[in-house]
Amino acid sequence: MTSTHQQPNPATAYTPRVAAADHQTQVQALARYAARATFDDLSAQSRTELPVHILDCLACSIAALGAGPVSACRDQVRDFGGGHGVALIGGGAANPVYAAFWHTVLVRYVDFMDNFLAPTETCHTADNFGVALTAAELAGGTGRDLMLGVALGYTVQSRLVDHGNFMTRGFDHTAQLAFSHNAAAGRLLGMTEAHIANAIAMAASSDASFAVIRAKPLSQWKGLASAQSALGAMNALFLARRGVQGPLRVVEGPLGLDHLLGRPLRVDWDAEGYEGVVSSTIKKYNAQIHTQSAVYCMIELAAANHPRLDVAAGFDPRTIVSIGAEVPQITYDFTGGGLYGTEAAVTSKEQADHDLRYLLAVALLDGNVMPAQFTDDRINRPDVQSLLTKVSARPNASYTAQYPRLMPAKITVQLKDGTTLEHEVQDYPGMPSRPFTWNDVVEKFDQLTADRIDSDLANQIKDAVHSLEHIKVTDLMALLARIHVD
């Protein structure tokens, strides 16, 4: 496969040598793993689940169009993203560096995309989608190429999360994107192992990000940091193709990642497949990933006690004395007041979708947690602001031991009349133990896009993704470019 992007001048381009296989660095081994990937390496399960995750990514992307910070990013692309054109979701074109930035902004900002869960770490595997989409289009690729790029990006990032301790050492979960973005894009653009390795080395050594991005008080950057990673990775990728070299011992070399993580980061890439998507979890609710079971538990508790806990049926939430949540330690750390702190006040989307108090309060009041629950008006309404003060969380050691195989949660609601209502769940729809089906993701897509695109265009996009193995990426992009949201 060849790229339609301008190639470097053969007279000035330099192709560095790759070390022998038995002396390869981690970056070089990863580059070899990426360069050898083919669609035939994907299992039947991956080929079934990839269109599900890709439609989920597109639903999140369409839902993000028009949001304040997203519009600022669109202005940035318009001002600085000119050059060789790649079609954009939402219309227009940009050079591939800024196209990847834009598509990553879209898939990430609403915070409704898929994730990978590890015992003490996490990452948003969907952060790889925008780069894969851009590279596949730039290369004139097929839907199968896009599926392979997504599978490759998801697998690389999730394996690094599995084997590393990035967040516990102060790195953000976007730090691994320097590896996964360039592995996927380099493969789709037909780059050599040496060029891919140098691109990864340059991006990994320069674009590390810090976990303070997720600490309270949260800012808009939590939804944009992965797009900055895409910008840096793609810039490094094209520099590498022009012959620029990076520190290939960025992992195991002096003062490299091993030093910063305090332990060796070793993945046997020769033994890895490309099955990252099957261990990725799709969000059922528009809420931080580790709160999904708790939110699901609250909604199930309310449904089991209908109409007693149904606000629409006349229940007065002022009769609630307290709402208690028992959750795994990682849920408590990210959203319940643990390691990453507590919001002094919940007044913005960024704060609300990562605050367990708000999420459980609004889930009980509204019966769902979707983008509508994160408008400024809804967040700051007195009913939810009052109820969230009655919500508390604590880690449960047994639940922590079962995570991430399961994500148990227990909700206890105490009422003024002395009644105590309890419910417990073990997981939620969307986890690898209960993966989304095509019908599940179509329902989510329809919910997120219903007031944004007309039904004919929505159906064409769904049909294109469902038949992705048989179309060109340009066919899909022609549909996505027709989307216009004010």
Residue 434 lies inside a defined structural domain of this protein: no
How are strands ordered across the β-sheet holding 280-281?
122-123, 115-117, 280-281
Do residue 131 and residue 164 come from a single domain?
yes
Q: What is the pLDDT of residue 54?
A: 98
Do residue 355 and residue 379 come from a single domain?
yes
Residue 461 lies inside a defined structural domain of this protein: no
Q: How far is Cα of residue 465 from the mean position of the Cα atoms in its chain? A: 19
Which residues make Cβ contacts (< 8 Å) with residue 398, sequence separation at least 6?
408
Residue 483 lies inside a defined structural domain of this protein: no
Residue with tokens 């793993």: 33
- Are 478 and 89 contacting, i.e. CB atoms less than 8 angstroms apart? no
Q: What is the pLDDT of residue 22?
A: 56
Task: Output the six-digit token pair for 353.
Answer: 């979708």
- Are 471 and 142 contacting, i.e. CB atoms less than 8 angstroms apart? yes
Residue 56 lies inside a defined structural domain of this protein: yes
Residue 460 lies inside a defined structural domain of this protein: no
Last residue within a domain, chosen from 221, 255, 281: 281
**DSSP sequence for 86-101:** EE-TTS-EE-HHHHHH
Residue with tokens 């979890």: 281
Instruction: Tell me the pLDDT of the chain (486 aa) as tens digits.
Output: 333 344 434 333 434 444 444 589 999 999 999 999 999 999 999 999 999 999 999 999 999 999 989 999 999 999 999 977 899 999 999 999 999 999 999 999 999 999 999 998 999 999 999 999 999 999 999 999 999 999 999 999 999 999 999 999 999 999 999 999 999 999 999 999 999 999 999 999 999 899 999 998 989 999 999 999 999 999 999 999 999 999 999 999 999 999 999 999 999 999 999 999 999 999 999 999 999 999 999 999 999 999 999 998 999 999 999 999 999 999 999 999 999 999 999 999 999 999 999 999 999 999 999 999 999 999 999 999 999 999 999 999 999 999 999 999 999 999 999 999 999 999 999 999 899 999 999 999 999 999 899 999 999 999 999 999 999 999 999 999 999 987
Instruction: Indicate the SS3 state at residue 482.
Output: coil
Beta pairing, strands 320-327 & 420-425 = unpaired
CATH number, domain containing residue 230: 1.10.4100.10
Residue 296 lies inside a defined structural domain of this protein: yes
Do residue 304 and residue 271 come from a single domain?
no
- Are 427 and 360 contacting, i.e. CB atoms less than 8 angstroms apart? no
CA distance linking residue 59 with residue 70, whole number of Å: 15
Do residue 206 and residue 293 come from a single domain?
no
Task: Output the six-digit token pair for 413.
Answer: 């609601």
Do residue 110 and residue 212 come from a single domain?
yes
CA distance linking residue 273 with residue 277, whole number of Å: 11
Q: What is the pLDDT of residue 397?
A: 98
Closest-CA residue to 204 (of 151, 138, 149, 160): 160
Residue 444 lies inside a defined structural domain of this protein: no
Task: Output the six-digit token pair for 39.
Answer: 């669609």
Do residue 87 and residue 216 come from a single domain?
yes
Instruction: Indicate the SS3 state at residue 476.
Output: helix
Per the omega criterion (within 30 degrees of 0), is the bond before 8 cis? no
CA distance linking residue 320 with residue 326, whole number of Å: 18
Do residue 59 and residue 193 come from a single domain?
yes
Residue 6 lies inside a defined structural domain of this protein: no
CA distance linking residue 233 with residue 176, whole number of Å: 11
**How many C-beta neighbours within 10 Å does residue 421 have?**
17
Helix intervals (H) in 65-168? 68-80, 96-109, 129-138, 143-163
Residue with tokens 């699901």: 296
Do residue 32 and residue 49 come from a single domain?
yes
Last residue within a domain, chosen from 281, 298, 317: 281
Do residue 249 and residue 315 come from a single domain?
no
Q: What is the pLDDT of residue 486?
A: 73
Q: What is the pLDDT of residue 83?
A: 76
Last residue within a domain, chosen from 383, 409, 425: 425
Do residue 115 and residue 226 come from a single domain?
yes
Do residue 95 and residue 129 come from a single domain?
yes
CA distance linking residue 275 with residue 47, whole number of Å: 10
Domains of the chain: total: 2
CATH number, domain containing residue 293: 3.30.1330.120
Do residue 272 and residue 299 come from a single domain?
no
**DSSP sequence for 396-421:** -HHHHHHTTT---EEEEEEETTS-EE
Query: 199: domain range?
Result: 21-281
